[in-house]
Amino acid sequence: MPITAFVIDDSAVVRKYLTETLSSGGIQVLGSAADPLFAWPKLQSNWPDVIVLDVEMPRMDGISFLRKLMAERPTPVVMCSTLTEKGCETTMQALSAGAVSFVTKPKMGLKDFLEDRSNGLVDAVKAAAKANLRALGVQGGSTAAASPKATRTTSAVAVRPGNASSALHETTDRVVAIGISTGGVQSIEVVLRELDRTCPGIVMVQHMPAAFTASFAARLNGICEMEVLEAKDGDRLINGRVLIAPGGRHMQLKRSGAQYVVEIKDGPLINHHRPSVDVLFRSVAACAGRNALGLIMTGMGDDGARGLKEMHEAGAYTAAQDEASCVVFGMPAVAIKMGAADDVVALQDVASWIRHTVTKALR
């Protein structure tokens, strides 16, 4: 059976092109509407697998509708938003309220974007159709204390010498590297809310386009004790700080004397992404070795799995989020299959896993 979708957008032209794009990608579009109030009775007669929803519409905005939808009939939602400051902030609210993913509509050149069959809409809807909405329900705004336990993939963590240089073995500075994608906005909030400024510095890649990561970092910085920043080239990684790779650019960890700093650079797409988790993880394996912790979380595809394997082989402690708590069990599943993860950890246990693991003796 094909995936079914319903399009809600106040522009007739946008609805037309989005419908054509989805249909050309093998997705059956059951209908469309100019706003949520027009859409609601149509949805009742033939409910879709995924709803594609504009952010700003007359009569009822996308956020209000999304909250109503998640309360009454939870359904995977892909948000459409413009590449503006207001659009970015609204999209962050939507993702926090339960939207699975989003695609961005440029303010200029909209026609070209809509006619481009590689604009990411089809992939976003296909991923949303597989989303675990129970995980979204658990994650949305949850601030419950994390459990001290984590599920082990092995009976004990083997002590391996690693292949990092001996100079790295002489420092106890820890680095936490996190890779996350679809479902990540809600998931990482759950984790960071449970960590404080004594936590080692965190470097993170969240698959997200340019302009959105600044709003994402600012939102997290306002609700978490740790300092959360969109990374700039040369930023120092210190305890209590989270550096998020800027959308559209790769981030690598570098050693500068006794300090860790990040390098922000352009480059080709890696695993269809820029920033790429693999790029970050491989740099952490090379410069931090056994002093690092690596964590791969919810997301579609396999970006980060090979990098996590390199971290594991360099002596780092590694973990993957478990299937039950993932919105999309893609990236973690590949990492687990490759043997890249020492531990498989439920979302509510990730913060405890980090706190517990940083206290372990160096490998």
- Tell me the catalytic residues: 181, 207, 303
In the numeric block, the tokens 């892909």 are attached to 78
**Nearest Cα to 233, choosing from 256, 213, 207, 263?**
263
d(Cα 347, Cα 322) in Å, to the nearest integer? 7
Is the Cα dihedral 276, 304, 90, 119 positive or negative? Answer: positive
Token representation of residue 237: 């990684």
d(Cα 145, Cα 268) in Å, to the nearest integer? 40
Token representation of residue 133: 């909405």
Three-class secondary structure of residue 317 per DSSP: strand
Helices (H), the chain: 12-24, 36-45, 62-72, 85-97, 110-115, 121-129, 133-139, 166-169, 184-192, 212-223, 277-287, 305-313, 331-337, 350-358
Q: Annotate 44-83 with DSSP letters as a single string.
A: HHS--SEEEEESS-SSS-HHHHHHHHHHHS---EEEEEES
Contact 3, 125 (CB under 8 A): yes
Exposure string for 304-322, b = 16+ CB within 10 A, e = fewer: bbbbbbbbbbbbbbbbbbb
CA 218 to chain centre: 16
